[in-house]
Amino acid sequence: MNLADAGAHQIRLRLPSEDSFSEETLVSQERLAEEAKKKSEEEEAAAKERQAQRQVMAIEELVQSEKSYLKMLQICTVNIRNSLNNLQPPPPNLDSLFLYTEEVMNVSSRLLFKLEQKQLKPKNPEFLENLCASFLSLSSEIEAAYKEYLWNYNHVSLVENDYKQNETLWSDIIKVVKSAAPEVNATSLSFFLVMPVQRIARYPLLLQTIQKHTDPSHPAYALLEQTANTSIALNCNINEYKRFREVADKYKKTENLTIMDKINRLSTHSIAKKTARFSQYIKHETGMAPKLVDEEFDTLEGFFNILEYGILVLLENVETYLFHLQRFLECKTEEFDFDMDGEKAPVCYKEIHTALRQWILPMFEKRMRTLIHKPLCELRDLLVGPKNLIRKRLHKLLDYEVIEGKPKLSYEEQAVANAYKTINTLLLNELPRFNGLALQMIWRMLGTFSCLHRDLAADMEQLFQGFALQLPHSSYHPTEFQEWVETAVLEGARNLDILCQSVQETLNSPAVQPLSPSCQRRLQQLTDKHGSGKIFQVTNTVVGTRDFDLNLTKGDFVALISEFDTRGDKRRWLVDSGAKKGYVPSSKLIRYHQAAEDPPPSPFLPTLGNMMAFRRHSCIPDPQVVHVTNLQLMSQVVAAYDFMARGSHEVSVRAGEPVRVLESQDKRGNSEWSLVEARGQRGYVPSNYLTRMPVGTGSLAPPLY
Residue 356 domain flag: yes
Q: Determine the length of the chain.
A: 705
Pairing between β-strand 589-591 and β-strand 535-538 as defined by DSSP bridges: antiparallel
133 vs 114: CA distance, rounded Å: 9
pLDDT at 183: 80
367 and 221 together in one domain: no
Tell me: the pLDDT tens digits for 65-110? 999 999 999 988 888 888 888 888 888 888 888 889 999 999 999 9
206 vs 217: CA distance, rounded Å: 20
Contacts of the segment 547-551: beta carbons below 8 A, 24+ positions apart: 548/582, 548/583, 549/582, 549/583, 549/584, 550/575, 550/577, 550/580, 550/582, 550/583, 550/584
128 vs 131: CA distance, rounded Å: 5
Helices (H) and strands (E) in the chain, counts: 23, 10
304 vs 298: CA distance, rounded Å: 10
564 vs 551: CA distance, rounded Å: 18
116 and 221 together in one domain: yes
User: Contact 394/274 with Cβ under 8 angstroms?
Assistant: no
Q: Residue 676: what are its φ and ψ, rounded to 5°?
A: -130, 170
pLDDT at 628: 38
222 and 350 together in one domain: no
Pairing between β-strand 673-678 and β-strand 681-686 as defined by DSSP bridges: antiparallel
Residue 597 domain flag: no
355 vs 464: CA distance, rounded Å: 10
pLDDT at 441: 93
Q: Under DSSP, is residue 121 helix (H, G, I), strand (E, B) or coil?
A: coil
522 vs 519: CA distance, rounded Å: 5
Q: Under DSSP, is residue 345 helix (H, G, I), strand (E, B) or coil?
A: helix
Burial group, residue 436, by CB count within 10 angstroms (0-12, 13-18, 19+): exposed
190 and 45 together in one domain: yes
Residue 625 domain flag: no
pLDDT at 68: 92
- Greatest Cα pair distance in the chain: 210
User: Contact 619/638 with Cβ under 8 angstroms?
Assistant: no
227 and 367 together in one domain: no
Distances from the Cα of 601 to the Cαs of 125, 252, 315, 450, 492, in angstroms?
120, 71, 59, 68, 49
pTM, two decimals, is: 0.51
User: Contact 589/643 with Cβ under 8 angstroms?
Assistant: no
Calculate ∠ Cα 299-304-306, nearest 5°: 100
User: Contact 588/539 with Cβ under 8 angstroms?
Assistant: yes
pLDDT at 251: 72
Distances from the Cα of 673 to the Cαs of 139, 637, 682, in angstroms?
85, 15, 13
Question: Which of residues 252, 283, 308 is at a domain's end?
Answer: 252
User: Contact 570/563 with Cβ under 8 angstroms?
Assistant: yes
pLDDT at 612: 40
User: Contact 352/359 with Cβ under 8 angstroms?
Assistant: no
HSE-CB of 614 using CA atoms within 13 angstroms = 12
Residue 658 carries which DSSP code? B
- For every residue of 362-425, DSSP letters joined together read HHHHHHHIIIIIHHHHHHHHHTHHHHHHHHHHHHHHHHHHHHTT-SS--HHHHHHHHHHHHHHH
Which residues, including other chains, have CB under 8 Å from residue 422's CB and lie 6 or more apart?
A: 243, 244, 247
pLDDT at 135: 92
Mean pLDDT by 10 residues, the chain (705 residues): 48 51 72 79 79 86 91 89 86 87 92 86 84 92 91 87 88 87 82 91 91 86 92 91 80 70 75 81 80 86 92 93 88 66 68 83 92 93 88 86 81 83 87 92 93 91 76 76 86 86 63 62 86 84 82 86 85 87 88 58 45 39 39 68 81 88 81 87 88 61 48
186 and 66 together in one domain: yes
193 vs 530: CA distance, rounded Å: 76
Domain count, the chain: 4
pLDDT at 371: 93
261 vs 53: CA distance, rounded Å: 66
Calculate ∠ Cα 99-104-105, nearest 5°: 105
Residue 210 domain flag: yes
Residue 69 domain flag: yes
HSE-CB of 705 using CA atoms within 13 angstroms = 19
CATH classification of the domain holding 576: 2.30.30.40
222 vs 132: CA distance, rounded Å: 10
CATH classification of the domain holding 107: 1.20.900.10
166 vs 314: CA distance, rounded Å: 46
Residue 467 domain flag: yes
Burial group, residue 573, by CB count within 10 angstroms (0-12, 13-18, 19+): buried
327 and 453 together in one domain: yes
390 and 298 together in one domain: yes
Residue range(s) defining the domain that contains residue 550: 517-591
DSSP element (H, E) containing 433: helix 411-465
pLDDT at 13: 45
Strand partners, 572: 585
Closest by CA position to 440, among listed 384, 375, 390: 375
pLDDT at 10: 46
Q: At what angle do helices 125-137 and 195-212 cross, to 10 degrees?
A: 140
CB atoms within 10 A of CB 13: 9
pLDDT at 621: 39
CATH classification of the domain holding 393: 1.20.1270.60
pLDDT at 244: 81
136 and 44 together in one domain: yes
Question: Which of residues 418, 445, 472 is at a domain's end?
Answer: 472
User: Contact 200/145 with Cβ under 8 angstroms?
Assistant: no
463 and 324 together in one domain: yes
Distances from the Cα of 587 to the Cαs of 159, 294, 570, 581, in angstroms?
52, 41, 10, 18
Distances from the Cα of 628 to the Cαs of 105, 408, 476, 695, in angstroms?
105, 105, 64, 14
pLDDT at 608: 38
User: Contact 402/290 with Cβ under 8 angstroms?
Assistant: no
Strand partners, 448: none
- For every residue of 247-265, DSSP letters joined together read HHHHHS------HHHHHHH
Residue 490 domain flag: no
DSSP element (H, E) containing 601: none
247 and 362 together in one domain: no
Residue 606 domain flag: no
- For every residue of 73-96, DSSP letters joined together read HHIIIIIIHHHHHTSSSPPTTHHH
Tell me: the pLDDT tens digits for 577-635? 888 889 998 888 888 866 544 444 544 444 434 444 443 333 333 433 333 344 444 56
pLDDT at 447: 94
401 vs 596: CA distance, rounded Å: 65
pLDDT at 15: 47
Q: Under DSSP, is residue 576 helix (H, G, I), strand (E, B) or coil?
A: strand
Question: Which of residues 220, 252, 284 is at a domain's end?
Answer: 252
391 and 467 together in one domain: yes
Strand partners, 28: none
